[in-house]
Every structure is written in C-alpha cells, then in structure tokens.
Chains A and B, each alone.
Chain A
Amino acid sequence: MKAFQRGVLVASIAVAVSVVVKVRSKGPVPPTSGGWRELQGPDFR
C-alpha cells in the first residue's frame, strides 16, 4: 500500500511539473535569423 501511495505521489509531481513547464515555455526557437518585409516596387520584390 505504501509503495502504491509513493507511486501516486511521484506521478502527481511529474504531472504538476510538466504542466508548469508547458504553461511557462516560450515556444520553439526559429531556425532562421531575419524578418519579413512587405513586397514593393515595380518588380514587387
């Protein structure tokens, strides 16, 4: 019974940690550097 309670406790902590990490994460890091510029000019480049 004690082992079961310990297992439940460990699982609960794992779920709580994963929720915190998911909520606080900043998202993926772009594999590029630069930015977007509106197309302009006669050639629309």
Chain B
Amino acid sequence: MKTVLVAGLGEVGIRAARQLIDTPGVDRVIVAARRLEHSREVAAALHDGAEPYRLGRDDALPAELDAVVAALPGDADAALARRAVGAGIPYASAADRDATLRSLLALDIEAQSRDTRVVVGCGLAPGLTDVLARHAVGALDAVDELHVARWGVAGSESVAEARRTQREEAREWREGELVHEKHRHGELIWFPDPVGARECELVATGVELLVAANPGAGRVTARLGVPPVKRFTPPGRRDPGLGWGAVRVEAWGWRGTARTSVVYGVIERTAVAAGTVLGVTGALLCGALPGLEGAPGSGAFGLGAVVEPVPFLAELARRGVKAAAFEGVAVA
C-alpha cells in the first residue's frame, strides 16, 4: 500500500494532491496543513479522495509513509525535509529559492546514510526546465550553452518568493565557475503564445542544479519574469498572457560539425504545471511510476538528475502538461 503525504496546501500543493489521487499506483494520499480545519476543507474539495492531517512543527509525521511532497515556504520546507530524511522517507520539494534549494541539497549525506532521496526543485523552474534541459541536451552531440527562463507565479506566496529571488544576487555559470552577475540584464524571452515575449531578469535559482545535471555546458543562465499586478487595464488592452505560466529552455551546441540550437517550451497555468510536476515526482518516489526513474540511488538531487526525460515528459503530457519545440531560426 503506497501512502504519500502532501504538505503545504496552497495552489501547488492542492494540484499535486489531485495528481497523486489520480495515480493508480498510489493508494492513500494525506493532505497536511498547520490547521486541521484547512486540511479538512482541502480533503473535502478533493471529493474525500484524501485524508486530512494537522502537521505543525512539533506534530509527528503520519505512520507508514512512502513519500512526502511539499509545497511549503523556505524554512518550513527544510525543517520538514530534515524530519522526513531522519525517518528514511523520500522527499520531493517544489521550492524555487536558491537558499532553500541549498539547505535541501545539504541533506545529501544524511539522505545517503538513511538510504533515501531528497529531490529538490520539483516545480516549473527549477523542475520542468531541468527535465526539458536534459531532453534538449540529449538531442545534441555536445552542448556549450544552456539558457532557461520562466514566466509566471502560482499564487500570492509564490509572487513574494519570486520577488525575493529577483532581489537576490544574480549568478550564472561561465566556463567552470559560478559568476556573480552585477547587471540583471532584463531580456525579452519568447515563450509560446499567448504568453509571447516577456522581459525576464537573470537570477541565481536553479543554475547549480542545471550544471550538476548537464556538466558539459560551459555557460548556464536562468531567468525569471514576474507578471505585474495591474489595478487598471485600458479597455481592449487586456493582457491574455497574464494568467499563464510558461517556461523556455534553449540549448546551444554541436550536431556533427554544425552549431545548432534546440528550444523547448511549455505553457500552462503555473500552479497546474508545478503541481503536476510535484505530484508525478511524488508518485515516482513512492514507487508508483517506476518507468520514469533515471538513476536510482540515495542522496539529494535536482529533478533533472533523477528522472528519465522522455517517459517523464510523456507522463506529464498524458496529464495535460504538454511540451513544445520551437521550429525556426533562434538568435543566440
């Protein structure tokens, strides 16, 4: 009997729970929040396919868990991950801030000693971008540049996290070292319609995960665009891309003797895409989706390092999160 705990019942957590309930190999889904009343409301909204549970900082984890998936703010995420790893339970996190990713990756040695896994960055970016990046790199004989970008946020807490990320130091990977980039270089990135062209700033989040999963890339950058909060929109000027989330992954390298690029993108409601990635990762960690696993082993990793890109993307597509390739002439 496979049991998965979903911690953090915001927009992403609820979608992850929905995905887990819809996975045939998962028998029991427990939805946990600090307030029991909130978890009861969510369980009821999921048509009682999930069990409510109160999970404060001092409350014990439910018994006989096969995996924990979390969509929590930074500190709470790391604290719960430590408890799960201490109990030998696999853990997947949708965290998207650099500091949180580092504190989760720091559990690597303990996870190895407990023979369990921590998979970090299981959202839109980092997360889906890491899987698309590996897929894009797999289409090239050699990769030299990797650029990922995300547009969109999944709720008010996600807006705050994204704004904090943009205020933090921007870093990029350049020829074997992480370089602090003083200028954020807001750049227009072309996502699939209806998002289209959006200005995205250079950020540090997820760069190290991309480097770890694609060691051949000489230059790696990550960008983030946050939709503006508009109080007034002139008639006829409504932005059709505002409610959407999108990612774009661009890999440059060599195929034979020709330098070429591979560009992948995804468009979906941000919370739906992030929740689906988190839910599928949770199902994978509890053993309900064994075909998606790339390199089994214990420790702490980014999503791109643990999954097999093709079956993972196919599973996401089956659940409605579909990737697309750009066909045309990209400009470096």
A5 at the binding interface (Cβ < 8 Å)? no
Interface majority SS on B: helix, strand, loop or mixed?
Answer: mixed
Given A23-B234, A44-B310, CB of A36 within 8 Å of CB of B325: yes
For A, the interface residue count at a CB cutoff of 8 angstroms equals: 16
Given A23-B234, A45-B139, CB of A34 within 8 Å of CB of B326: yes
A-binding segment of B2-10, B269-277, B283-291, B316-324: B316-324
- The complex places the Cα of A28 from the Cα of B264 at a distance, in Å, of 21
> Would you call B310 and A36 a contact (CB within 8 A)?
no
- The complex places the Cα of A38 from the Cα of B328 at a distance, in Å, of 14
Given A43-B310, A44-B135, A44-B313, CB of A32 within 8 Å of CB of B326: yes
- The complex places the Cα of A31 from the Cα of B197 at a distance, in Å, of 10
Given A39-B323, A39-B324, A43-B310, CB of A27 within 8 Å of CB of B197: yes
Q: Residues of A contacting B309 with CB < 8 Å?
A: 44
Q: Residues of B contacting A43 with CB < 8 Å?
A: 310
> Would you call A45 and B190 a contact (CB within 8 A)?
no
Smallest distance from the beta carbon of A11 to chain B beta carbons, Å? 21
Given A39-B264, A39-B317, A44-B135, CB of A28 within 8 Å of CB of B328: no
B1 at the binding interface (Cβ < 8 Å)? no
> Would you call A23 and B237 a contact (CB within 8 A)?
yes
- The complex places the Cα of A28 from the Cα of B189 at a distance, in Å, of 11
> Would you call B313 and A36 a contact (CB within 8 A)?
no
> Would you call A34 and B310 a contact (CB within 8 A)?
no
> Would you call A35 and B328 a contact (CB within 8 A)?
yes
Smallest distance from the beta carbon of A36 to chain B beta carbons, Å? 4
- The complex places the Cα of A39 from the Cα of B38 at a distance, in Å, of 39
> Would you call A36 and B237 a contact (CB within 8 A)?
no
Q: Could you tell me which residues of chain B, from 173 to 224, have a CB within 8 Å of some CB in chain A?
A: 188, 190, 192-193, 196-197
From B262, which residue of chain A is reached at the shortest CB distance? A45
- The complex places the Cα of A7 from the Cα of B322 at a distance, in Å, of 56
> Would you call A30 and B190 a contact (CB within 8 A)?
yes
> Would you call B331 and A31 a contact (CB within 8 A)?
yes
> Would you call A28 and B325 a contact (CB within 8 A)?
no
- The complex places the Cα of A37 from the Cα of B328 at a distance, in Å, of 10
List 17 A-B residue pairs with CB atoms under 8 Å apart, sorted by A's residue number: A27-B196, A27-B197, A30-B190, A32-B328, A33-B329, A34-B328, A35-B327, A36-B192, A36-B193, A36-B265, A36-B325, A36-B326, A37-B324, A38-B323, A39-B322, A44-B314, A44-B323
Known contacts A27-B197, A32-B329, A34-B329; 15 further A-B pairs (Cβ under 8 A): A23-B237, A30-B197, A31-B190, A32-B328, A32-B331, A34-B326, A34-B327, A35-B326, A36-B327, A38-B322, A39-B317, A39-B323, A39-B325, A45-B139, A45-B325
